[in-house]
A and B are shown apart, each in its own frame.
Chain A
Amino acid sequence: DQQVKQNSPSLSVQEGRISILNCDYTNSMFDYFLWYKKYPAEGPTFLISISSIKDKNEDGRFTVFLNKSAKHLSLHIVPSQPGDSAVYFCAASRSNDYKLSFGAGTTVTVRA
Chain B
Amino acid sequence: NAGVMQNPRHLVRRRGQEARLRCSPMKGHSHVYWYRQLPEEGLKFMVYLQKENIIDESGMPKERFSAEFPKEGPSILRIQQVVRGDSAAYFCASSPQQDRQPQHFGDGTRLSIL
Query: How many positions in chain A have a CB within 8 Å of any CB in the partner chain?
Result: 26
A43-B105, A98-B48 known; A89 and B42 CB under 8 Å?
yes
Neighbouring A residues of B4 by C-beta, 8 Å? 43
Q: Does residue A104 face the partner (Cβ distance < 8 Å to B)?
A: yes
B-side contacts of A42, CB under 8 Å: 107-108
Cα A93 to Cα B45 with chains together (Å): 11
Which residues 33-73 of B have a CB within 8 angstroms of A?
33, 35, 40-45, 48, 56, 59
Give the shortest distance, in Å, between B55 (CB) and chain A (any CB): 8
Q: How far is the CB of A108 from chain B (nearest CB, A)?
A: 15
Give the Cβ gap from B38 to chain A, nearest Cβ, in Å.
Answer: 10
Chain A residues within 8 Å of B95, by CB:
98
CA distance A101 to B56 in the complex (A): 15
> Is A25 positioned at the interface, with any CB of B under 8 Å from its CB?
no
**A96 neighbours in B (Cβ, 8 Å):** 98-99
Chain B interface (Cβ < 8 Å from any Cβ of A): 4, 6, 9, 31, 33, 35, 40-45, 48, 56, 59, 91, 95, 98-99, 101-108, 110
The 8 A-B residue pairs whose C-beta atoms are closest, nearest first, are A102-B42, A43-B105, A46-B102, A96-B99, A102-B43, A43-B107, A104-B42, A99-B45
20 residue pairs of the A-B complex, CB under 8 angstroms, read A4-B42, A32-B101, A36-B105, A41-B107, A43-B4, A44-B105, A49-B102, A89-B42, A91-B42, A96-B98, A98-B95, A98-B98, A98-B99, A99-B48, A99-B56, A100-B33, A103-B42, A104-B41, A104-B42, A105-B42
